[in-house]
Amino acid sequence: KSDSPAEAEPGVIAGLDIEAETGRGGLLEGLDRSQWPESGEVVVGTVLATRLSVREGQLIAVISQDADGFPVSELYTIKAIVDSKVELIKTLGVVMPIEEAGTLLVMPDQAHELAVYGYDFQEADTLKASIMGIPALKDASIKTWREAVPEIVMVINVKKWFDLIFLSIVFIAAAAGIANTAMMSTFERKHEFGMLLAMGSRPRRIINMVVIESVILGLIGIVVGSIIGIVIVMILSRTGFNYAALGGGDADAAISYKEISFSLVIYPRLKLKQVFYGLIAVTLTSVLASLWPALIAARLEPVEAMHRT
């Protein structure tokens, strides 16, 4: 509540590791270091600050219960008003350093929730197993992000299917382009193919020629495309790509779901195996797309092919 006892609003006391939570994906992401709360200071969410009609520098009285259920209260100076990406902090949050919250709630050196960040979200189960091996946490309830927000897992699975459909369309278009190029090349060289067949070349050799040309065409495309793609990924891995910018200048840079913040700034990573998979896929696409023109070239009648030309 603010200076006036009549102005009171429910809130949530959040004792945080301020330095950790101001980093990427934290509850206070983007908060300037000059606004970090210190001893006797708090950060208040924008919605709660509006309801209380308070601003930076004013005193705010925090009333709560300690770990044993006894009432506690303290006056704090509002260091900053934060527009957090997490709805709970934005609407109800009274954020203070974890040491300050421990003193207020008589919970020194204690915490009720720990968030552990890993480098690879796909290794969450391995990270969980490692944490469960810590003796001090043997009685703790430990959940991976998949267990904490299973709805997000469903969204990711749906996205994988959409990605598969999109890639299928891309490869169908690529196959059509290669087949069209090979077909045009075949008809333009009917005379040459007819001469080769008349001189005793086997149809299999004609097929190999057309297929190899198509594979070379596909490989040139993937080499050029891979170079361009690698350069783009390397640049975006440093600068990031803000999907929120697609929604306009005022778009948020993060979304929250079940009090978990998801940044809309994507930092892609380069994996060589994906380049390898692309090489294999394009090669197979080139071979399959060129079979029809190759078979047409191999079945040409030598005399007819040379006559029509």
pLDDT for the residue 189: 78
Dist. CA 14–CA 94, nearest whole Å: 6
Q: For residue 52, what are its two tokens?
A: 């209380």
Ramachandran sector of residue 118 (left: φ over 0; alpha: ψ -120 to 50; beta: rest): beta
> DSSP for 190-250?
HHHHHHHHHTT--HHHHHHHHHHHHHHHHHHHHHHHHHHHHHHHHHHHHH-EEGGGGG-TT
User: Could you state, in chain order, the average pLDDT of each consecutive group of 10 residues for the chain (309 residues)?
Assistant: 58 86 78 86 89 88 86 89 82 88 85 79 85 83 84 86 89 84 80 79 83 84 86 87 67 61 77 83 84 81 65
pTM score: 0.58
pLDDT for the residue 54: 87
pLDDT for the residue 253: 60
Environment class of 238 (CB within 10 Å of its CB; exposed 0-12, middle 13-18, buried 19+):
exposed
Distance (Å) of CA 296 to CA 46, 205, 217, 289: 71, 13, 19, 13
Ramachandran sector of residue 57 (left: φ over 0; alpha: ψ -120 to 50; beta: rest): left
Give long-range contacts, CB 8 A cutoff, 24+ apart: 105-113.
Answer: 105/13, 105/15, 105/64, 105/65, 105/66, 105/67, 105/72, 106/66, 106/67, 106/68, 106/70, 106/72, 107/66, 107/67, 110/67, 111/15
Map out the domains of the chain as residue ranges. Answer: 12-115, 150-308
pLDDT for the residue 261: 63
pLDDT for the residue 277: 84
